[in-house]
Structure 1
Amino acid sequence: MKPQHLKSDLLFLLSAVIWGFAFVAQRMGMDHVGPFTFNGIRFFLGAMVLVPFIYSNRNNQPKAPDGSGQIRNRRLVLYGGLAGMAIFAGASLQQVGLVYTTAGKAGFITGLYVVIVPIMGLLWGQRTNAGTWGGALMAAAGMYLLSVNEDLTVSFGDLLELIGAIFWACHIHLIGWISPKTDSLQLAFLQFMVCAAASLMTALVVETASVAAIAAAALPIVYGGALSVGVAYTLQVVAQRHAHPAHAAILLSLEAVFAAVGGWLILGEVMSRRGMVGCSLMFTGMLMSQLYGLVTKREQDSGFFKTG
């Protein structure tokens, strides 16, 4: 393995660990504050973590005609607003859902966005493959075992997490369209700030939070904001420079596994045998959705897969 690939793999693995255990932090934080208060402060902290990186990268930005060095992208605020509202929808549904479900289940259900993304891409002409459909069917079967009760009902928290996964998939498509048009770090900062502002405004209307309550939730908030939003995002950006696509797909999918491990270790969450089978099917479906195209492309490039 090339040294740069090994470095990328380690960074992806660290990102997956941080994001997985963030589900635990998000659940612990709501012992003291409401979901919108938690998200508002969390995403504000995440935005602040990016400020030094934006500042150090300022010399690489296009100059204005007067040499002032200011970024001339009038659509940056619009793009950041759109992406921020998509994050606000996904993060709000995820956070409220965690009030009614476990960290482990939330991690696996949220991870379904990797299956939803290529299926959603069909709406604007993107092509998909058999691995996507096979992965989707397997993930759906796993979701049934994990979330559907004996009376054929789905828990409210699991349903919110699933709808949230759809919004996370929307966000990925939105970023795929926006990112080539603007600076990635500035876009990340703006979308986090928009999400923070929308969350805090909602919290003012529907929640009551005291300074003492926020102080009591300080550790989960700092973890969920500074580490999960700020640091892990930056690690992912760095890792993608020299990433092996298959390695990245596998390692980032481990986020769901680490969420379940964290829920078991820290929160004492226990999953039924039916739930564990469901999680295994969902995880396999996620990997199939991501890896099938990479494997078949390699076979085509190697001459083992013939067409025409």
Structure 2
Amino acid sequence: MPTGDSKGNAGLQQLMMSARKWRCAHERGIWNAAMLGVVALWGWTFVGIGDALETMTFLSVLTYRFLGAALLLGVVHARSLCRLTLRELTAGSTAGTVLFAAYAFQTASLLRTTASNVGFITGTAVVFTAVLAALFLRERLTGAQLLGTGLVMAGLALLTLQGLAVHWGDVLALACAACFAGHLILLGQAAPDLNTGRLAFVQLATVGLLGLLGAVALGGGLSAPAGQGTWATLAVVAVGASALAYFIQTRAQRVLPPTRIAMIMTAEPAFAGLFGYWLAGDRLTGWNWAGAALILASITFTSYTHRAAPPQARAGGPRHTKLSTKGRTAMDPAIPNSGLEGTDRTEGARKRQAAGESAIARGDPMTERPDTDIRTIHLTSREAAGARALVREQIDRYARPEHPHFLRSAPALGARLPDVLREALGEMRYLETDPALVVTGYPWDPQSVGPTPEHWRDHCGQRTREADFWLLLLGAQLGDPFSWSFLQDGRLITDILPLREKEHAQSGHASAAYQYLHVEDAFHPCRPDYIGLVSLRNPGTATTVSPVTTGGLSPEQTDILFCERFQIFPDLEHTSGLDEDGRPSTISALFGSRDRPYARIDPPFMSALPGDSAAQQALDALCTELESAATSVVLEPGAVLLLDNFRAVHGRKPFTARYDGTDRWLRRMTMTRDLRKSRALRKAVDARVVGAG
């Protein structure tokens, strides 16, 4: 029976959870307001840039705006830019070229039509994105999108036609909207999850340099801003509407769902119209206002009904988009490896393994790879066929992945995995070269599992059997699979899917809440060494992963984090399952080697010891450092994500659950390198369920 002290500690835990929920709600409110301010500023730029164009050429405006923004981003991301990859340079310069065309059309259109018209027409990029995706990506247009397109065409006719004549400024604005949509599609296809800061810098620099080259090539060169007012306008659009706006938008996407961002962005044309009316003297006729209303209705309607489509693209604001690799070969440079590092083939793996073994032999400390991108192995069609044949052979032999004989034989079956994959898993376990690994290319049809269940209790294991065997085969190369008796009835492989009653919880069943970067089961001494996730269906929700890094912390903060100056509580599921009574454990947040530390953190259930403000500041700094190093991984169906639960932390971005059978659905398994340490909590020596002792 819980004591008075344990009841008090449980009360303290509830108080901490309430405080964190209030802080999360407060944070969401701040970033909602910040995003609304950004959209308002973008609406003003249509008027501000129009004023600057009275004394400058449009190429000069683009040069000053985007080179200034790139310079500011270059200063902010100076250390990260040293790790610029060829793939980021290629994707950024290509997308930047299309972005230059968009802004060139937009800036030129402001010379020939009103700021209000340009604002309303530019907003149609949201609708054009769906149309271009249907044309070039073969995505099916829904009835809602067709209706939205029809509304846009009608609105454009009412807004722009003068009699039967076409206003060329409006045509240029329409070309601008099409380029913005093309930029979004192109960026999503080329690099959905590359480093955001570096990609933004390359795009902004490309736009600025192309503007400079254009100004020189046309013979006039750059025209100097005339007067303080023009200088102020350029400073605002470069710093505020480009560099700062990009930062706010990127940061807001960590805590706000995509549908919320899209909803806020639909206000931009309205702000453009208001500023055009108040500041530029734009006046619309009744028919013009009707056209503007139809355009706004179409933008809003399309944003709400096409949740998978990202918000309108902006300079330096790429979206994380799930892409298909179907029909491509492993040597195709456009293969999307979840936006991560390019495929490592056998020779590269051998070189890294040899380097690691040589360093260990010399007694040298292993060093982190300079980039935070996650290593990805993409199976060739031949490798994938061999892997699938191996999986189906085990299904025929053992029927279910929990079969004791299969659990014992699975590690030895690693010898039959593709060479590159087997070597990568060996490096991950024995050399700790990679805190996380993504495996893509396994042939998987999301429709084969049927609809996403409304609850994990409704799930029949037969539907996911092939994916479960594949996940277990890979995970067994890192450690012994095990489960908790109180989680999903002790199932060895559990479901991650949204539940209505847990939308805002800090758990795998939440959707609306941002899941903080954390170590799985961090409070427990038997926490897993590795975690495996296999994607069955994923409409585009990103899992966030960060290596444990302390590069941005002071030596004093690092020293504090290695001391037992923190308390961690069991989460509510563990409290009920392991008969814990809410008592916190006193721990250090970091342990192991100073140059390659292990982590033990779970922010919603963890704090410094009472009164230790220095420790709390160090913990907050560590969480900020991990967030800044995080990479977003959108797992395509059939992809597997393997995490080192000591050397990486993970979380999830918020999303809007539909509860209609199409929601995100992953399967999860935990692995340990030492099954003996949980022997007192298992019924038998070969049992895999912890907590049943």
Opposite residue 239 of structure 2, the aligned amino acid is A
1:134-283 matches, cutoff 5 A? 134-150=147-163, 152-206=164-218, 207=220, 209-211=222-224, 213=226, 217-283=230-296
Give the superposition deviation at 1:79: 1.4
Pair 1:283–1:145, CA change in 2 (3 A): same
Counterpart in 2 of 1:22? 45
Q: Does 1:119 align with 2:142?
A: no
Aligned-partner residue type, residue 201 of structure 2: F
Q: Which residue is equivalent to 1:99?
A: 111
Distance 1:286 1:210, change over 3 A: closer
Q: Where does residue 54 of structure 1 map in the other structure? A: 77
Q: TM-score, normalised by structure 2?
A: 0.40
Name the structure 2 match of 1:301.
Answer: 659
Q: What does the per-residue CA deviation read over 1:43-89, in whole Å, with 9 as the maximum and x for residues that have no partner? A: 11111232343147x3xx9xxxxxxxx42622222112101111110
1:31 aligns with 2:54: yes
User: Take 2:278 and 2:216, find their aligned partners in 1: how far apart are those partners?
Assistant: 34
Give the distance between the partners of 1:197 and 1:39, measured in 2 at CA. Answer: 9
Q: CA distance change for structure 1 residues 211 and 54 in 2, over 3 Å: closer, same or farther?
A: same
Q: Which residue in 1 is equivalent to 2:670?
A: none
Higher relative contact order (CA 8 A, sep 6+): 1
Aligned to 1:66: none
Task: Pick which of 254-263 and 197-206 moved more.
Answer: 197-206
* Matched-pair contact (CA < 8 Å) for 2:144–2:302: yes
Could you tell me how far 1:129 is from its partner in structure 2? 2.1
TM-score (norm 1): 0.87
Letter in 2 for 1:7: I
**Which residue number in structure 1 is paired with residue 98 of structure 2?**
86
The amino acid that maps onto 1:126 is E
How far is 1:215 from its partner?
5.9
Does the CA-based 8 Å contact 1:33-1:217 persist in structure 2? no
TM-superposed CA distance for 1:273, in Å, is 1.3
CA–CA separation in structure 1 for the residues paired with 2:97 and 2:297: 31
Please say if residues 49 and 231 of structure 1, whose CA atoms lie closer than 8 Å, have aligned partners that are also in contact. Answer: no
Unaligned runs of 5+ in 1: 62-69, 304-308
> When you count strand as a share of all residues, which structure comes out higher?
2
Check if 1:45 corresponds to 2:58.
no
1:5-53 deviations in Å (ceiling 9; x for gaps): 3233212211111111011111011011010100111111111232343
- Per mean C-alpha deviation after superposition, the further-off stretch among 99-108 and 180-189 is 180-189
Alpha carbons 1:15, 1:252 under 8 Å: kept:
no
- Of 124, 139, 144, which residue of structure 2 is paired with 1:131? 144
Shift of 1:98: 0.5
Equivalenced residues, count = 290
Any idea what SS the aligned residue of 2:226 has? Answer: helix
Q: Which letter does structure 2 place at the counterpart of 1:218?
A: W
- Output the amino acid matched with 2:265: L
SS at the partner of 2:287?
A: helix
**Residue 67 of structure 1: aligned partner:** none
Structure 1 residue 216 displacement after superposition: 5.8
Q: Is the alpha carbon distance of 1:15 and 1:72 closer, same or farther for their aligned partners in structure 2, counting shifts above 3 Å?
A: closer
Q: CA–CA distance in 1 between the matches of 2:190 and 2:225?
A: 40
CA contact (8 A) 1:46 1:229 kept: yes
Tell me which moved more, 79-88 or 90-99.
Answer: 79-88
Q: What SS does the corresponding residue of 1:270 show, helix, strand or coil?
A: coil
The alignment yields a C-alpha RMSD, in angstroms, of: 2.3
CA change 1:193–1:300 in 2 (3 A) is closer
Output the CA distance in 2 between the equivalents of 1:238 and 1:4.
11
Whether 2:313 is the aligned partner of 1:290: answer no
Change (3 A) 1:299 1:193: closer
Is the alpha carbon distance of 1:32 and 1:53 closer, same or farther for their aligned partners in structure 2, counting shifts above 3 Å?
A: same
Letter in 2 for 1:180: P
Determine if contact 2:111/2:169 at 8 Å carries over to the other structure. yes
Q: Distance in 2 between matches of 1:9 and 1:180?
A: 24
> How many angstroms does 1:209 deviate by?
4.5
> 2-side partners of 1:93 and 1:177: how far apart?
23
Structure 2 SS opposite 1:180: coil
Per-residue CA shift, 1:235-269, capped at 9, x if unaligned?
Answer: 11011111133322221111111111111111111
Aligned partners of 1:115 and 1:135 also within 8 Å: yes
Query: Computing the radius of gyration over CA atoms, which structure comes out larger, 1 or 2?
Result: 2
Q: Name which of 14, 22, 25 aligns with 1:2.
A: 25
Distance 1:253 1:47 in 2: 26
User: Bigger shift: 200-209 or 161-170?
Assistant: 200-209
Identity %: 24
Farther-moved stretch of structure 1 (120-129 vs 185-194): 120-129
Amino acid at match of 2:273: A
Deviations 1:191-240 (A, max 9, x none): 11111111111112334554363766212211221111111111110111
